[in-house]
Amino acid sequence: MSTRMLSVIAITLWLVTIAVAGFFFVRGQTRVAPDGRTAILLAPGERNLVLTEMRGMLATVQAMVDGVKAGDLKQVAQAARASGMAAAADVNPALMAKLPLEFKQLGLGVHKRFDEIATERNSGGSHEQLLGSLGSQLSACVACHASYRIDAAAPVAK
């Protein structure tokens, strides 16, 4: 086999590897679930991690609504900050590779907006503004839940 031929094969294999990696980066580890949503397949520990983060966001929303009702805007800002980007920062690369690109974008968008809401209240946002921001934030929760669910990945056969 000529050197030229070998280099063509090497470059082709290299491109295939990049294409496969790119495909998984965009698609994650998923399948279509019987209810029509995209099921993300995660190991039990990874699923727990994501669901714990979710329950944290629900607690944030509850504390924010309570804060607005009590007129305690400091509580609103603190609750929002607790689900800001800092809450998303420690996700490990193996888990990130299993999440579809759109899921990551939606998830990061929600964390970023909680930080923005915290800042909004610090810069004197009104109750109506806060409730408006919270309303659009909740539409992102609803949209993602309508498209995705998390299933346990089949255990690896030994």
Give, for 39, the enclosing helix (H) or strand (E). strand 38-42
Q: Tell me if 133 contacts ligand HEC by CB under 6 A.
A: no
Whether 50 and 85 have beta carbons less than 8 Å apart is answered as no
Residues in the chain: 158
148 binds ligand HEC (CB under 6 A): yes
Helix (H) or strand (E) holding 72: none
Q: Report, in Å, the least distance between residue 122 CB and ligand HEC.
A: 20
Q: Which segment (11-19, 24-32, 73-81, 144-152) binds ligand HEC by CB under 6 A?
A: 144-152
Phi-psi region of 3 (alpha: psi -120 to 50; beta: other; left: phi over 0): alpha
Q: By CB under 6 A, is residue 144 in contact with ligand HEC?
A: yes
Q: Which is nearer to ligand HEC, 64 or 73 (CB)?
A: 64
User: According to the binding rule CB under 6 A, does residue 153 interact with ligand HEC?
Assistant: no
Element (H, E) at 154: none
Residues 69, 61: contact at Cβ < 8 Å?
no
Longest CA–CA separation in the chain, Å: 78
Give the x-and-dash track for 89-128 against ligand HEC (CB under 6 A): --------------x--xx--x------------------
Instruction: Write out the residues near ligand HEC by the rule CB under 6 A.
Output: 51, 54-55, 57-58, 61, 103, 106-107, 110, 137, 140-141, 144-145, 148-150
